[in-house]
Amino acid sequence: MSEHEKVLVIDFGGQYNQLIARRVREHNIYCEVLSYKTPIEKIKAEHPVGLIFTGGPASVYLESSPHISKEIFELGVPVLGICYGAHIMVYTLGGTVTEADENSQAEFGRTECDFDGSCALFNGLRSRSVVWMSHNDHIEKLPEGFRAAAHSAKCPYAAIEDPERKFYATQFHPEVNHTEQGFDMLGKFLYDVCGCKGDWTMSGYAQTAIDEIRAKVGNGKVLLALSGGVDSSVACALLSKAIGRQLTCVFVDHGFMRKNEGDEVEKAFADWDVNFIRVNAGERFLAKLEGISEPERKRKLIGEEFIRVFEEEAKKIGKVDFLVQGTIYPDVIESGAGDAAVIKSHHNVGGLPDYVDFKEIIEPLRLLFKDEVRKLGIELGLADYLVWRQPFPGPGLAIRIIGEITREKLAILQDADLIFREEIAAAGLDRDINQYFAVLTDMRSVGVMGDGRTYDYTLALRAVTTSDFMTADFARIPYEVLEKASVRIVNEVGHINRVCYDVTSKPPATIEWE
């Protein structure tokens, strides 16, 4: 992909780093995120047409804060600094940044801002609009060559510029939606200042990726573990177009899929030019999990069994040359995070380990964000069902049945979950709610149906909104929709006499119950 014009986002640890990268790509410009620690030679070798410095939680005057070498400003490449990125630019080039005090210029949230239309970032835009501020520190004295380009009531340097050297900086965050015209401001930096043409499109990407895969694979054999999730499905479609029957997809149906899901996945790939192997291993997984109710144990057993099944299939196929992984860009970006506590052991069919005898790994999606993976899926003509599929955990419904898993409980949950999904879709909420599903608790309670007493399961409904699945809020579903789902579930599915809605956010809860 090296022939594309490229912008580098230099990451100073802010919360919007990936968002900035996505905004740049929405302008059809390829972009990567690199740590501020990246050596200058590496940055140079990437031949960026522009650099964007992100925000960050630190104050520039602390020794422990991220700093950057002055040399980066000597590359002759335009720079846009955002918030902390603005401070670091000012600080490094000889201006001053001041700590907030009691008369501070700290600003948080929506702020009215006035722009100077002669600045390339604001040229042709409305001269006053709302921006999103989030800063304690502020620019006190500009470095030589700079001038003010925007101000707010509290902040005389809401934006600054040195047009001669093509350095621009904003105290506010143009990348967030709350900044009106922010997307356009980024566009002006990219197109008018950096001189980008916008050569990053999905059809272009698909063709380049297909050519590269063909060149790499030659007439070798390729193996892909297909889960039916968006990433592995799009990878499958791409490889199918590139190398057809040289690809073998193994879809291990562990029996914990949602209602009819195994068949739907199989159907979706029926017309694609690939070798498709579906392994119906439901009985085997059920047997393995018999009597197990501890969540981590369930996850581990399913993960291990999955590998066993896949391994057996791979052996039948014989020696393969390449294994496909559905790695996407957020997995690739260096993260500064330390060792996080293990909350749940994730089982991801994309991440198969090294037991299969293969030469090399192919990661055809490693440059893409999730929404770009979807765009690519659409571009390739993949079924809508797969492109817009909500995330589904590797261990499937096994971790949505609390306690021991039985065939009966699995059937109950599949039926109830289908009804909930149907009602969410019927209410037109399926694209607004990021994940929604039913959980079968192991609690029974007393109810009355007809004239008789019942003693049956309690079902929980869970629906969340989230942008990254790291934190989430429970979805504010209208009562009427919940009511309809609840009435249908209790009437149409046996052995459920009570339905609850989970109103906890993450944290303190997690999205899945196990």
Q: Which of 27, 87, 173, 347 is catalytic?
A: 173
Question: Which of 366, 506 has the CB closer to ligand XMP?
Answer: 506
Beta-bridged to residue 453, according to DSSP, are 448
CB neighbour list of residue 178: distance below 8 Å, 6 or more residues apart: 109, 110, 130, 131, 132
User: Quick one: 331 or 512, whose CB is closer to ligand XMP?
Assistant: 512
C-beta of 160 vs 349, nearer to ligand XMP: 349
Comparing CB distances to ligand XMP, the nearer of 104 and 390 is 390
C-alpha angle with apex 404: 398 to 405, nearest 5 degrees?
45
Cα 158 from Cα 129, distance rounded (Å): 12
Q: Is 8 exposed, middle or buried (0-12, 13-18, 19+ CB in 10 A)?
A: buried
Query: Shortest approach of ligand XMP to residue 328 CB, angstroms?
Result: 12
Marked catalytic residue, from 5, 27, 31, 83: 83
Q: How far apart are CA 279 and CA 262, in angstroms?
A: 10
CB atoms within 10 A of CB 190: 26
Q: Identify which of 370, 128, 126 has the alpha carbon closest to the alpha carbon of residue 229.
A: 370
Backbone angles phi, psi at 162, to 5 degrees: -130, 85
Give residues with Cβ within 8 angstroms of 158, minimum separation 6.
Answer: 111, 113, 131, 133, 150, 151, 152, 170, 171, 172
What's the closest the beta carbon of residue 505 comes to ligand XMP, in angstroms? Answer: 11
Q: How far apart are CA 280 and CA 24, in angstroms?
A: 43
Examine the residue annotation and report whether 27 is marked as an active-site residue of this protein: no
Rounded Cα distance between 69 and 81, Å, is: 14
Nearer to ligand XMP, 23 or 259 (CB): 259
Query: CA nearest 414: which of 349, 494, 475?
Result: 494
Nearest distance, CB of residue 339 and ligand XMP, angstroms: 17
138 is catalytic: no
Q: Taking the mean position of all CA atoms in its chain, how far away is CA 400?
A: 22
Q: Which is nearer to ligand XMP, 138 or 347 (CB)?
A: 347
Strand blocks (E) in 404-506:
435-449, 452-465, 473-474, 496-501
Cβ nearer to ligand XMP, comparing 85 with 395: 395
Tokens 């069902």 correspond to 385
Residue 165 or 506 with smaller CB distance to ligand XMP: 506
**C-alpha 189, offset from chain centre:** 25
Pick the catalytic residue from 175, 305, 313, 372. 175
Give CA separation, 228 vs 149, 262, 304, 410, in Å: 50, 8, 19, 19
Q: Which is nearer to ligand XMP, 179 or 232 (CB)?
A: 232
The residue ranges of DSSP E strands in 92-238, in sequence order, are 96-98, 107-115, 128-135, 138-141, 147-151, 159-162, 167-170, 222-225
HEC string for 220-256: CCEEEECCCCHHHHHHHHHHHHHHHHHEEEEEEECCC
Q: How far is the CB of 482 from ligand XMP (least distance, A)?
A: 21
Q: How many helices (H) and strands (E) does the chain have?
A: 14, 20
Give 349's Cβ-side CA count (13 Å radius).
Answer: 31
Rg, the chain, Cα only: 26
Q: Which is nearer to ligand XMP, 268 or 464 (CB)?
A: 464
Tokens of 411: 């059937």
Kindly list the residues in this chain that would bind ligand XMP in the complex (CB under 6 A): 344, 346-348, 391, 393-395, 435, 469, 506, 510-512
Cα distances (angstroms) measured from residue 154 to each of 85, 113, 273: 20, 10, 62
Please indicate whether residue 175 is annotated as part of the active site: yes
Q: Which residues are catalytic?
A: 83, 173, 175
